Amino acid sequence: MAVIPDAAPGTESSAPVPSIPSQPASGTLIFGLAFAQFGVMLSLLTPVMVTLALRVAQIVPEDDRGAALGQVLSLGAVLAMIGNPVFGSLSDRTRSRFGRRRPWLIGGMTAGFFGLLVVALGGSVPVLMLGWALAQLGGNAAVSAVTAGVPDLVPEQQRGKVSGIIGMMTSVAMVFGTVLANAFDDDLAPAFLVPGAFGLAGVVYLACVMKDRPATPGAFPPYSAREFLRSFWVSPKRHPDFAWNFAGRFLVFVGMSCVTSYQVYFLMDRLGYSEDEVSGKVLVGTLAMVAAVIAGSLLGGVLSDRSGRRKPYVLGASLVLALGLFLVATAQSFTLFIVAMVVFGFGEGLYLSVDVALAAAVLPNPEEAAKDMGVLNIANALPQSLVPIGAPALLAIGGGNENYGALFLFGGVACVFGALAVQFIRSVK
């Protein structure tokens, strides 16, 4: 697999830039993109949500479990943020006869599966860290290729619909992963390997049905340390629309992370549920939210494609997300919490239905779709690390450590500012 083209460093390429796809994406391709996204997300999210904590608990004394789990998850989060744009950049350059996406789809998820196998069988924290590092790197290599499928293969008039379908697969994977974890709670090995097998099946199916091509010869300078660093950067001065989209996405995901990171503690501290009760309540809330995500994704994608507009839907979705967060901030009963989660989920679905479509429309260069989509993915991943760092200060406002109103109101304000940032994009309606 070659990733180094034959252009000299610093030269401008005369190779033609591929045009935006004009032929409608088939149902088979759309299913392949959705199946691959579902499988890869299932393999990566199930451990984060449930099974890694259970695996750590099997091999680490109770007093050390929290710190050990933090070490494993922190390493994985860092590698995910690094791996996505780097593997995307390498995918853009790949000149394999099998195409430039297929090797990273299948090779990445194969490595991810073996990483999950190491986690399932490992008997110490360092081994778990090694296995989870391999799983995250391999899985994110596959994610970078799946995400590039929208700008590579889907025409503009279908991108809202396809973006919504792909986006809601993450939420569906969260629910399915929780069910799988409960089904295999007596034997954790299948709880890691079955999601990994779904990931492999999804990327193999997509690789079989997608059209793929090698990188255009001469389109890139040779890969170097400078090019490695460029994997994480798109100039906001040269590409302001991309920068505004990055800022908007980052702020919206800050708001989303407030809910995903702290709903368990909210249910325990404000609504008074015990540790034994809270997992069932979280599952009910998640199911309600995912149903709303699916509804919002399908509705927003269809309407956005029909109108040919993206920004109004991002604005509306962000405001609905903010409303959901404000409702969570004021909820004093489980019923009101469920109502808030439905509103929040509907807003998330609307946002996901146009998020990838909007991102594809502001990419600086279609030849670097995987790299640039990887840079944008940093905007989703970074809030998941930053929100837990900043949340204690918000929770401590007014004394104590349970001011969830302040935390969720902060998230709502972040969503509003995220919506406003997207309105500065000029090249998209």
Helix (H, G, I), strand (E, B) or coil at 401: coil
Looking at the structure, tell me whether residues 311 and 185 fall in a common domain: no
Q: How many domains does the chain have?
A: 2
Residue 14 lies in a domain: no
Shared-domain flag, residues 63 and 125: yes
> Which amino acid does the sequence have at 378?
I
| d(C-alpha 229, C-alpha 242), whole Å | 18
> What is the span of the domain harbouring residue 197?
27-213+225-230
Specify the residue for token string 């269809």. 302
Task: Show pLDDT as tens, one digit a residue, over the chain (429 residues).
Answer: 344 333 333 333 333 445 567 788 999 999 999 999 999 999 998 888 778 888 888 888 877 777 888 788 888 888 888 888 889 889 988 988 899 999 999 999 999 999 999 999 998 999 999 999 999 999 999 999 998 888 889 988 888 888 888 888 988 898 888 788 778 867 889 999 999 999 999 999 999 999 988 887 777 777 777 777 777 778 888 889 889 999 999 999 899 888 877 887 888 888 888 877 877 787 888 889 889 998 998 888 888 888 878 888 888 898 999 999 999 999 999 999 999 999 999 999 888 888 777 887 888 877 777 788 888 888 887 887 788 788 888 988 987 778 989 999 999 999 999 988 988 988 877
Query: Residue 413: which H helix or E strand, with range?
Result: helix 404-422
Round to whole Å and give the CA distance between 43 and 285.
22
The helix/strand/coil state of 382 is helix
Q: Specify the amino acid at residue 119.
A: V
DSSP 186-209: T-HHHHHHHHHHHHHHHHHHHHHH
Gyration radius of the chain's alpha carbons: 21
From the list 322, 25, 324, 341, the residue with the least C-alpha distance to 160 is 25
Residues 92 and 181 in one domain: yes
Of 349, 376, 378, 405, which Cα lies nearest the Cα of 170?
349
**Which of 197, 230, 263 is the endpoint of a domain?**
230
d(CA 237, CA 288): 42
Last residue within a domain, chosen from 230, 259, 279: 230
Task: Kindly state whether residue 428 falls inside one of the protein's structural domains.
Answer: no
Asked, for residue 281, whether it belongs to a domain, the answer is: yes
For residues 201 and 355, give the distance between their C-alpha atoms in angstroms, rounded to a whole number.
Answer: 26
Tell whether 72 and 175 lie within a shared domain: yes
SS3 of residue 154 by DSSP: coil
**429 occurs within a structural domain:** no
Give the pTM. 0.77
DSSP letter at 219 equals S
The answer to whether residue 80 is domain-embedded is: yes
pLDDT of 130: 95
278 lies in the same domain as 335: yes
Query: Is the residue at 63 inside a domain?
Result: yes
Distance, CA of 275 to CA of 48 (rounded, Å): 19
Same domain, 294 and 342: yes
Q: 268 and 389 share a domain?
A: yes
Handedness of CA 188, 193, 195, 196 (dihedral sign): positive
- Give the whole-angstrom CA distance, residue 407 versus residue 338: 18
* 141 and 264 inside one domain: no
Whether the CB-CB separation of 42 and 198 falls below 8 Å is answered with yes
Residues 200 and 244 in one domain: no
Torsion angle of C-alpha atoms 207, 210, 215, 220, degrees rounded to 10: -90
Tokens 């059209």 correspond to 211
The answer on 286 and 206 residing in a single domain is: no
Neighbours of 268 (CB within 10 A): 16
Q: State the alpha helices, DSSP H only, in 51-187.
A: 52-59, 65-93, 102-121, 125-147, 149-153, 159-183
**If we measure between CA atoms, which residue out of 425, 355, 356 comes closest to residue 152?**
356
Same domain, 163 and 249: no
Is residue 220 domain-resident?
Answer: no
Give the CATH number, domain containing residue 176: 1.20.1250.20
CA-CA distances (angstroms) from residue 179 to 202, 255, 279? 19, 26, 12
Query: 230, 259, 284: which is the final residue of a domain?
Result: 230
Q: Tell me the three state secondary structure of residue 288.
A: helix
Burial class for 389, CB neighbours closer than 10 Å (0-12, 13-18, 19+): exposed
Cα–Cα distance between 142 and 154 in angstroms, integer?
18
- Claim to verify: residue 159 and residue 74 sit in the same structural domain: yes
Is 12 inside any structural domain? Answer: no
Neighbours of 30 (CB within 10 A): 20
Give the pLDDT score at 285.
87
